[in-house]
Amino acid sequence: MTNPPRRRRPATAVPGHGGVTSPPPESNPFAGAEFLLSCARMAQLPRDVLPEVAFVGRSNAGKSSALNVLCGRNALARVSKTPGRTQLINLFAVRDGRLADLPGYGYAKVPKDLSRDWGRLIGEYLEKRENLRGLVLIMDVRHPLTPFDQQMVEWAVHRGLPCHILLTKADKLSFGASKNTLLAVGRALNDAPGCSVQLFSAPGRKGIEECRSRVVELLRGTPPVE
């Protein structure tokens, strides 16, 4: 007589012994980002209804590095050793729309005529671009809320656009100092509706997922998750 096959008991996952399968890391929503085009004039921008989120900030605040690490690409946006080199609006195609890399502002060594042209280009884009859904404003955590930065916040409020602030280079300060700056900037923005702020470090891999989530919310027009 043949004995019936024994039922196998389901395996029990034992924490710490390789039996627990952790959830896969959230996929990068900007992993497929591709350079689209550079524009020196508003007329060169695409004429469609795709949403755009603009990255803007003072020259040498870490804007290109932030874009690269958010998209998981080392050279998507050029990181120049000479601040103020970016003179054009650079557009990148992503899953939910486009990211716009605006020229950096406020670099003293840039000739005045060039600086004036860049300022006009940024101003026209922020004021007239109907595709624009929000700003990511890059500030060096060691030098936040410069007059140029405050002007950008006021511009966003004027247009009724959400503005998410990245306090970059957080690895350059101690934890306590960077946290104090975050709280101080947050208090300064109390009267600016639609503004949010976070710490960020490209080389330190700090704040990347938080920023990705916020940019996706801006592109999709959804409110931030508290």
Structural contact between residues 36 and 42, judged by C-beta atoms closer than 8 angstroms: no
How many angstroms separate the first and last alpha carbons of the chain?
A: 66
Indicate the pTM of the whole model: 0.81
Maximum Cα–Cα distance for the chain, whole Å?
Answer: 98
What is the predicted pLDDT for the residue at 16?
Answer: 41
Q: How far apart are CA 202 and CA 168, in angstroms?
A: 8
CATH numbers and ranges of domains, the chain: 34-220 (3.40.50.300)
Mean pLDDT for 26-44 is: 91
| pLDDT (tens digit per residue) in 111-128 | 455 446 667 888 899 999
pLDDT at residue 15 tops 80: no
Half-sphere exposure of 205 (CA within 13 A, CB side): 1
What is the predicted pLDDT for the residue at 111?
Answer: 44
| pLDDT (tens digit per residue) in 136-194 | 999 999 999 999 899 899 999 999 999 999 999 999 999 999 999 999 999 999 989 99
What is the predicted pLDDT for the residue at 174?
Answer: 96
Beta-carbon contacts of residue 217 (< 8 Å; ≥ 6 apart)? 223, 224, 225
